[in-house]
């Protein structure tokens, strides 16, 4: 299950028609028990560690967490919940997102994310003026 972007996906982000601020929609499914750097704790706890360690990197590029929510019950779609949590994180630009995502110190912190997740989706979004 994907927990990190492929090179082709990163190239697609660079080629996409995205100007100005972007919002990254994160859909997360946690492991019952984390592995790797966080063996011995839950996936949710490992992700909490990732979130805390990521904050300085996010702030450095001008990003901010807009919303974090736990999924509770399916209203439309398959009966089984596919995701445990959704996050929306805003960045001033895709370039700032990629700057953070390629920082070697951030990549070390990213090990908590890998230890925490069994599956994820990361979708680059932009605000629209009206629906």
For the chain, domain boundaries: 29-125
Cα–Cα distance between 56 and 68 in angstroms, integer?
18
* Residue in the structure block whose two tokens are 């990732």: 50
Q: Given this model, what pLDDT does residue 2 score?
A: 63
Give helix then strand counts, H and E, for the chain.
4, 4
Reply yes or no on whether the pLDDT at 33 is more than 90: yes
Res 6 pLDDT > 90:
no
Whole-model pTM: value is: 0.89
| The residue to which tokens 């100005």 are assigned | 20
What's the pLDDT at 3? 67
CB 29, CB 18: distance < 8 Å: no
The pLDDT score that the predictor gives to residue 90 is 97
User: For all residues of the chain together, what is the average pLDDT?
Assistant: 92
Res. 129: pLDDT tops 80:
no
User: Which H or E run contains 108?
Assistant: helix 104-116
Class of domain 29-125: alpha beta
Arithmetic mean of pLDDT, 74-93: 93
């Amino acid at each position: 299950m994907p927990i990190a972007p492929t090179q082709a996906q990163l190239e697609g982000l660079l080629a996409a028609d995205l100007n100005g601020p972007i919002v990254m929609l994160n859909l997360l499914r946690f492991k019952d028990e984390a592995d790797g750097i966080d063996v011995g704790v839950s996936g949710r706890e490992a992700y909490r560690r990732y979130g805390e360690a990521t904050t300085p990197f996010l702030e450095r590029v001008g990003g901010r967490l807009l919303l974090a929510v736990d999924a509770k019950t399916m209203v439309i779609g398959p009966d089984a919940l596919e995701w445990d949590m959704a996050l929306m994180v805003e960045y001033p630009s895709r370039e700032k997102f990629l700057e953070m995502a390629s920082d070697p110190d951030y990549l070390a912190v990213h090990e908590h994310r890998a230890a925490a997740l069994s599956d994820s989706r990361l979708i680059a979004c932009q605000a629209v003026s009206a629906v």
